Structure 1
Amino acid sequence: MIPWVPLARAAIPGTTQQLCLHRRGDLLEFSIQISGYVSELMNSRMHASEDALAELGCAVISGRPAPHVLVGGLGMGFTLAAALKALGPGSRVTVAELVPEVVEWNRGPLGECAAYPLHDPRTHVHVGDVAELLRQGHATYDAVLLDVDNGPEGMTHHGNDWLYSPAGLAAARRSLRPGGVLAVWSATPDERFTRRLRQAGFRVDVHTVRARPGKGARHTIWLAHRTQGAPSGPPRVRPADSRRSR
């Protein structure tokens, strides 16, 4: 078996943990782990549901002439790349990344995996917490795509808990233009979070996605549509033959 070679480490702001970047030999395969955890946070060979997060979210706003999309979490760049692919030349995508080194990794060899989406002129980078942008309270974005943790709880950074709280969801709703969508990725389903989204005034669709095309673990993507009033009725659950993995 080809061994993993450690390349770099980066402190996660506000925690005692680190992100650890590895590469498998000379192959174009990268892995990011959190110090102290055995399992991977993400792997460059398993990104189909990262793609699905952007594809599903951007499909909602596909008819808009100059959409502005916010991506929370750069990771390995796959969600950003998929959003850029789904949007037209007049679009703008702001990506917020808490860890500065992750941005530099994506500008270096890691960027080749997603075809260097940071080089796209439509991309704007915010080095800092995505919550800083959501707290501004302006209806700025047509879509907000959140992939900052392993689901609606803070694992890499406990400050992420705010994003999934009633206050955080209210801020996300205020940040969306009318008819906009909040898309959230999770490793597991969470009925409590579905109810919380509805209580925040969103109309909710729940998609089941696969870790790899047609196979692998099943993950969850919420599409929370901004409406003028609180919706009624249960959320719609839709399987997708989309994907994802960490």
Structure 2
Amino acid sequence: MIPWKQLDIASIPGGGELRLKQRGTEFSIMLGTNELMNSRLSGSEEALATLSCEHIKDKKRPVVLIGGLGMGFTLRAALAVLPDDAEVTVAELVPAVVAWARGPMAEIFKGSLDDPRVRVHEGDVGALIRTSPGKFDAIMLDVDNGPDGLTRTSNDGLYDFGGLNASKVALRANGVLAVWSSGPDAGFTRRLQSSGFAVKEVNTRANGKRGGARHVIWLASKR
């Protein structure tokens, strides 16, 4: 078996490190002993995009925010179904992740960052949401491990009542907040409902129809 090779290490603002590893054509981003993402497992991240875009398919010139670049699976799936006049902002906190996307993982991204519909925002997606009232038709959050995070305690602010209210304010009428998680969280479902969203919880698999770990996507519609 081909051994893993570590390509780079990146510091996370507020503490912690991400490690980019490669084995043949396979890539992995690690936090400590936890694998945050793997290039072979894209199904649930793609579902995050397709489910969100289905919700806003009748919007003219849709404006979309993706929180977390990762390996670009959500971005690529969104671009595949969004119209030519869409605007897509990808917010990524760790600049090195953007550099990896343009460098060693460029083949995975397949030029998606150069799509004229795309703008990359290197910074905190929560801060961007709080300063963007009424801007987005869809907000897709694939940040950390979901509401029960691993990388930064400050990410919890995206998923508490304050963060959910900020997302609701940033959404246009009938917009959708879509949240990816590595597993179920009944408390988060209740917070979404208490925040005034109409909530649908979708179970999905890490490798799509081919199976893999069970993940959850919340689709929270602004009433």
Alignment of 1:131 with 2:130, yes or no, is no
Q: Which residue of 2 aligns with 1:11?
A: 11
Q: Which residue of 2 aligns with 1:186?
A: 181
Alignment of 1:33 with 2:30, yes or no, is yes
Q: Which residue of 2 aligns with 1:2?
A: 2
CA distance in 2, matches of 1:209, 1:154: 19
Structure 1 stretches of 4+ with a deviation exceeding 6 A read none
SS in 2 for 1:49: helix
Q: Which residue of 1 aligns with 2:215?
A: 219
Q: Which residue of 2 aligns with 1:233?
A: none
Consecutive unaligned residues of structure 1, counting only runs of 5 or more, are: 228-246
Amino acid in the other structure paired with 2:21 = H
Alignment of 1:46-65 (within 5 A): 46-65=41-60
Amino acid in the other structure paired with 2:83 = G
Q: TM-score, normalised by structure 2?
A: 0.97
Deviation at 1:153, TM superposition (A): 2.7
Deviation at 1:137, TM superposition (A): 4.6
Deviation at 1:40, TM superposition (A): 0.8
Q: Which residue of 2 aligns with 1:244?
A: none
Q: What is the CA deviation profile of residues 149-196 of structure 1, one whole-angstrom value per residue up to 9, with x for unaligned ones?
A: 111033111110000000000000000000000000001101110010
Alignment of 1:23 with 2:9, yes or no, is no
2:191 pairs with one of 156, 180, 196:
196
Alignment of 1:114-193 (within 5 A): 114-193=109-188
Alignment of 1:81-96 (within 5 A): 81-96=76-91
Report the identity percentage: 54
Alignment of 1:103 with 2:98, yes or no, is yes
Amino acid in the other structure paired with 1:195 = R
Consecutive unaligned residues of structure 2, counting only runs of 5 or more, are: none
Amino acid in the other structure paired with 1:159 = S
Deviation at 1:135, TM superposition (A): 0.9
SS in 1 for 2:131: coil
Deviation at 1:108, TM superposition (A): 1.3
CA distance in 1, matches of 2:54, 2:153: 31
Q: How many aligned positions are there?
A: 222
CA distance in 1, matches of 2:161, 2:127: 16
Does the Cα contact within 8 Å between 2:19 and 2:29 map onto a contact in 1? Answer: yes
Does the Cα contact within 8 Å between 2:42 and 2:208 map onto a contact in 1? Answer: no
Does the Cα contact within 8 Å between 1:184 and 1:223 map onto a contact in 2? Answer: yes
SS in 2 for 1:42: strand
Q: What is the CA deviation profile of residues 91-150 of structure 1, one whole-angstrom value per residue up to 9, with x for unaligned ones?
A: 010000000010111011212113131111111011000011111151000000000111
Amino acid in the other structure paired with 1:70 = L
Q: What is the CA deviation profile of residues 75-98 of structure 1, one whole-angstrom value per residue up to 9, with x for unaligned ones?
A: 111111111111010001000000
SS in 2 for 1:216: coil
Does the Cα contact within 8 Å between 1:47 and 1:212 map onto a contact in 2? Answer: yes
